[in-house]
Chains A and B, each alone.
Chain A
Amino acid sequence: MAESTAHAHDEHAHGHHEEGWFQKYFWSTDHKMIGKQYLFTGLFLGVVGAYFAYVFRMQQAFPGKPVPGYGLVTGADYNALITSHGSIMIFWLAMPVLIAAFGNFLIPLMIGCDDMVFPRLNRLSYQIFLLSAIVLAASFFVQGGAFGGAWTSYPPLSAKEEYNLTPLGSSLWLLAVALEFVAFLLGGINFVTTVMNSRAPGMKAFDIPIVIWMIVIASILFMASVGPLIAGAVMLLFDQTIGTGFFDPARGGDPVLWQHLFWFFGHPEVYVVLLPALGIVAEIITTFSRKKLFAYRTVLYTSIATGVLSFFVWAHHQFVAGIDPRMANVFTVTTVLISVPIAEMCFVYIATLYGGQIRFTVPMLWALAFIGEFLIGGVTGIYLGASGTDIYFHDTYFVLAHFHYTFFPIAIIGTFAGLTYWYPKMFGTYMNEGWGKVHFWVTILSFNAVFLPLFVLGAAGDHRRIFDYTNFPELASPEMQAVRVFATLALVVMILVQPIFAVNFFYNMFRGKKAPANPWNANTLEWQAPSPPGHGNFHPLPEVYRGPYEYSVPGRDEDYWPQNSPK
């Protein structure tokens, strides 16, 4: 497992018992180690998800031709690939990396305490998460193969074996998702309790760094939204395995109920992953523009408002599912409204940058890219949030391009931003800036080359989840096929450049130039601990005297002012 390569320098003698290899890497209760376990597991699964994307895009570009590194893609294969890609990227990449890995690693460090409040519960959360990944992996090897009913798993397709043809796969998928939910519920409780209670003396609510607030709000959002879906998952599992009819119209059930149960969670879920990414961007842009965050409280209140509003928009995923049109009216209004707080946050970030002394380090490049790319995603969402235009766009590639322009910034750009920024703290060494910039530019340019054309294809009528357009003459024109090939080739380029990051990441972990505690001259508390921090993080535990963004304060020699400096 990947965490065996996690390298930690924290053997500085503390007079503690010497930890065995197993105790340190597999049975640790230290939040930093658990964070790395989530990180490596999530990154590994992300690579698997990316491989699936490669395979199904190759099928799109060259339908019917065997894909190098996979073989012939059948219709059932295609469905399983897209289902697994979506599920993995959201549940087994975005959430573990953005929330569990960064949350675990950063929270105790940034609020100035020695660990999470429940370290053993923390370890258990990871183990349940790992189990969920194993269950998901198992679903690929059972008879019938992996579940192919899309990550949304709508019944009756997902409920009836005679429709989905993957009786074992569909139940294993559901079980994997349920286990993942339990892991994140437990983890979330740990995170929220820790931040509410264990802050360093002097750290008041508005002294908490934005990324920590975001992870807390995200955890609360998750906790509050996942309940109905857990209930629904039990109901669907029973429908699948013991023949109940919760979602079967012939038995008095209602498939639209599943849709509501799913999306009541599904919509807040996108903010669950968005908010931590926004938080990471906030930390980076303040550090590398040497400026205070333009409006801390605005960012905080708009995040909370977004979280609350996110519970009022979910049926925009169901505009054409046959819901009550009066509800469609309501949900249109609320959906268009929710773009306002997010836009405001982007404006606050831009205002933070304005007039600052910008340093274009690799993390800063990623943070800036996030803002630009996410704005495209957000703006295209408005077309989908309005129920009128959604009637046309629903289930086309326009939707797909929209949510990749939001999810890719969140899951991929956010991850790279956070990893390149906190790498010195995690591993005690520097990454190579030059190669980092190469990786950045090729990734960003190829990302746009993949997904911008998909807006066009979607508007032209490309339906989602179709494994072979040669069956649709109006969509199988040479021009449209050329666009599909172009997007696929851009994806191949994007994948080919990722090893640069991998080498940069792993090589420098062991052989990189040593980094000091505070290589970026930043204010927040994690930079006042050693790189990497040892057991207990701080000796002694810090006290806090000011907010996290006191950069370029007039009258001071230094352009930064750590939170725990008395003077």
Chain B
Amino acid sequence: MSSPADAHSPEAHEGHHEVNYVRVWAILLVLLVVSVVGPMFEIRVLTLITAFGIAVVKAYIVAKNFMHLNIERPIVLYILAAMLGLMLQFFWGTSPDVMHHYGKNWENRAALDQPHTAGSTVGGSHGDAAAAHGAEAPAGEAAPAAGH
């Protein structure tokens, strides 16, 4: 796992491709700027892509280049993937109860009564299909609660 580091030329030594870490860092900073500027337009889809999509990209870049996951043994990748998968599983199993505040025959009065400003609709909108981490929001079809 130790090979002489040469900042600029890739080396095939043991499959260890040397990267210019400063260049990677510069790319990360550019992405950071984009992710801060993007939400300023206050267009939902743009915010999602720039703030959250870029977060995923940045994480991937750090993991691949700084943590050297690209040359790590596969078992490590499987372990990490399994943990991330479990987090999606946790979200999938829990969110129907925690995230949704009304259904076909019920409403969560305590959650619906939370203070809200004029900007958001009464009863809360939950039609957000693309949740932050790509977690699936289960299809909640329900008529909005009557007579709130």
Contacts and interface: CB of A to CB of B under 8 A. Distances in A.
Contact, chains A and B (beta carbon distance below 8 A): yes
A257 interface: yes
B111 A249 contact: yes
Interface in A215-240: 224-225, 228
B114 A228 contact: no
Nearest to A321: B97
A228 B90 contact: yes
Contacts of B110: 249-250, 252
A256 B94 CA distance: 9
A309 B118 CA distance: 45
A323 interface: yes
A133 to B, nearest CB: 29
B94 A224 contact: no
B77 to A, nearest CB: 15
Interface residues of A, number: 21
A224 B111 contact: no
A12 interface: no
Contacts of A224: 82-83, 86
Contact of A323 (B82, B90, B96, B114): B96
Interface string B88-114: 011001101110100100001011001
Contacts, number: 46
A257 B96 CA distance: 10
Contacts of B98: 254, 256-257, 260
B82 A257 contact: no
B96 A327 contact: yes
B90 A264 contact: yes
Interface residues of B, number: 16
A525 B125 CA distance: 62
B101 to A, nearest CB: 10
Interface string B48-66: 0000000000000000000
A25 to B, nearest CB: 36
24 contacts: A224-B82, A224-B86, A225-B86, A249-B110, A252-B114, A254-B97, A254-B98, A254-B111, A256-B97, A257-B97, A257-B98, A260-B90, A260-B98, A264-B90, A264-B93, A264-B94, A311-B86, A314-B93, A322-B97, A323-B96, A324-B96, A324-B103, A327-B93, A327-B97
Closest 9 CB pairs of A and B: A249-B110, A260-B94, A324-B96, A252-B114, A256-B97, A257-B98, A254-B98, A323-B97, A264-B90
Interface of A: 224-225, 228, 249-250, 252, 254, 256-257, 260-261, 264, 311-312, 314-315, 322-324, 326-327
Given A224-B82, A254-B98, 20 more contacts: A225-B86, A228-B90, A250-B110, A252-B110, A252-B111, A252-B114, A254-B111, A256-B97, A257-B97, A260-B97, A260-B98, A264-B90, A264-B94, A311-B86, A311-B89, A323-B96, A323-B97, A324-B100, A324-B103, A327-B96
Interface of B: 82-83, 86, 89-90, 93-94, 96-98, 100, 103, 108, 110-111, 114
